[in-house]
Every structure is written in structure tokens, then in C-alpha cells.
Structure 1
């Protein structure tokens, strides 16, 4: 008799999204999937969080996965991803964008994004991408 598949482990997710309604929807979807979500509302807060992460001299543990909008006030998701990689941090990053063109997709891939998902994002696709990224960490 085969054992049932194990449930995906709960992940710590840092979510950066400047649209309040979209952020609330994403937090709800990821939380209901059993994950712990820390939310920030723009690129300024995302950048500040990254600066305070352990490994950067800060006290915050890096999340298992970062989910970030590409276009936000302050730093864009791509800028924060570039900063993470320059500092040698390998935390998987999923980017979301309603305006992603081929150049944005290429830049995300070059910087090592786990995935760039187009908005409106299918929540099942997002949940699967988060689990996949968390397993790659």
C-alpha cells in the first residue's frame, strides 16, 4: 500500500504588492494554503526588509520565498532582486507583473528569478509556483 503524498511544507513568504486589494487577495490565498505571509506595501518597504535580513548584518531571517510585484513605488521587484543577487543571497524570488514584456521576462531570467507570472495571476498557479520555489531553496 502506498502512503498518501505528503502535504507541502508551510513556507515563510515575503510578499510585496502596492495594490491593497491585490495584496489582500494574495495574502489570503497563500495563508489559506498554510503559509506564513509577511506583507509589505511597496518597493521602499521591500528594500528595507532586505536590508534588515540576516546575512546583511540584520536580525530578520530571510524568507523561504519572496513574491514581488515588478512595478511598485520605490524600488521595483527587479531592482530588489538584483540587490539580493549582488549580495549573494539565493532566496527564490517570484515576480508578478501586469505589464511584462519580453525585455522584462529576459531581465527577470538573467537576474535569477524563479518565475515571472503575468497578472492577473491564477491563484492555483501562484500557489504551485510558491511551493516549487520553496522546494528549490
Structure 2
């Protein structure tokens, strides 16, 4: 089937590569797997116009975030979705700032990854950025000034204790604000909240 979109999977874990390749194949994509970012880059120039990269973050040699930066520096406009088993706020922020289109924590629901891939394939860079920004700003409109302060602390990669100290509130109060942020923005994970904040230009 010539019309199947190519999805390049980069992961040093053979079982994960096989699992993702099977998932993508049965859902109508054309997967191609690589053990390292270097192996993928040796073929990157020959990739089809419509494709997405799904890469693990922690790999021997070049990691996923370094791969995103390299593709960007070389002008290769390919959307990259990063996956990791070591998700934390600072890592999500770094990934999104580097230019990843999405950041997904393992273990993830298959539907979450498939939805992220379809979104990445459908997005047109210029339109996508403007639409994503407007959408993100709308989702942040309901936040109180204090909730925005907490969100900015999170985007800066600060832990609850540091945010609490800087805002002169208790760590428990920061937790309450974090829960409010998730509820008001509709974010299902901390990485999704970071994505919304960064898209809105915070």
C-alpha cells in the first residue's frame, strides 16, 4: 500500500521496537525500525515527504533530544515524538523546547501514541503553530494569576519546594494549584501540561 504513512521507530530495546512496529503496521502505517539515532540519520535524507519519527529519549550514543536538535539544525523538517520511561517535568520541557512535537511517558496507551502520530502527520508547520498557540492560550485563559505563577515555575523545571519558597506558599498549596492546572486545562499528564504552556509561549 503506497499511501501508508512512514513512521520511523528508534529505540535500543528490541522488544519495544518489535511491539511498536506491530502496533503501527496493524493500524495502517508503514513502520521502519532503527536501533540507534545514528542508524536513522544515515537514511534520513531519503525519507518520504510524509513521515513521523517516534524515538526513545535515553539511548546509547545520540539521545532523542540530541536527535531532535540535529534534525532541526540540518533543516530536516520531520516531526519527532519522544517517548521515555523516565518522564519528569524538566525532561518534558527540554524535549518540547528542543522542537519535539510530543512527549509521551511509558507505559502509554496505544491510542495516545496513535493519536499523537496522526496529529503530527496532519499538522502543517505554519498553520499548526498558530492554531496550537491559540488553542493553548484558550486553555490557559481560566487560570488565576497565582496558578499562572505556579505554571511558570513548572515550565522553568522547578520542583514544588522551590516554587513554594519563591511564592511564599506551602508545598501542599503548590500541589493544590498543580491539580487545578490539570483540571482547568484538561491536561491528562504533566508532559501535556508542559506542551500547552510552551505552545502558549510561557
Normalised TM-score (structure 1): 0.81
Q: Counterpart in 1 of 2:143?
A: none
Q: CA deviation at 1:77?
A: 0.6
Find the partner of 1:26 among 7, 20, 24. Answer: 20
Aligned residue pairs total: 121
Q: How does 1:1-137 map to 2 (within 5 A)?
A: 10-42=4-36, 46-54=37-45, 60-62=46-48, 64-136=51-123
Q: CA deviation at 1:128?
A: 0.9
Which structure: greater helix fraction? 2
The answer for unaligned runs of 5 or more in structure 2 is 125-202
Q: Work out the CA distance in 2 between the residues paired with 1:98 and 1:38.
A: 21
Q: Work out the CA distance in 2 between the residues paired with 1:100 and 1:86.
A: 25
RMSD of Structure 2 on Structure 1 (CA)? 1.6
Q: Work out the CA distance in 2 between the residues paired with 1:20 and 1:10.
A: 23
Which structure: greater strand fraction? 1
Q: Which one has a bigger Cα radius of gyration?
A: 2
Q: CA deviation at 1:17?
A: 1.1
The answer for unaligned runs of 5 or more in structure 1 is 1-8, 55-59
Give the direction of change, closer, same or farther, for the CA distance of 1:23–1:52 in structure 2 (3 Å limit): closer
Normalised TM-score (structure 2): 0.56
- Listed one character per residue, the Cα deviations across residues 56-91 of structure 1 (whole Å, up to 9, x for unaligned) are xxxx12561000000011110111111011112221
Q: Work out the CA distance in 1 between the residues paired with 2:96 and 2:80.
A: 11
Secondary structure at the aligned position of 1:68 is classed as strand
Secondary structure at the aligned position of 2:23 is classed as helix
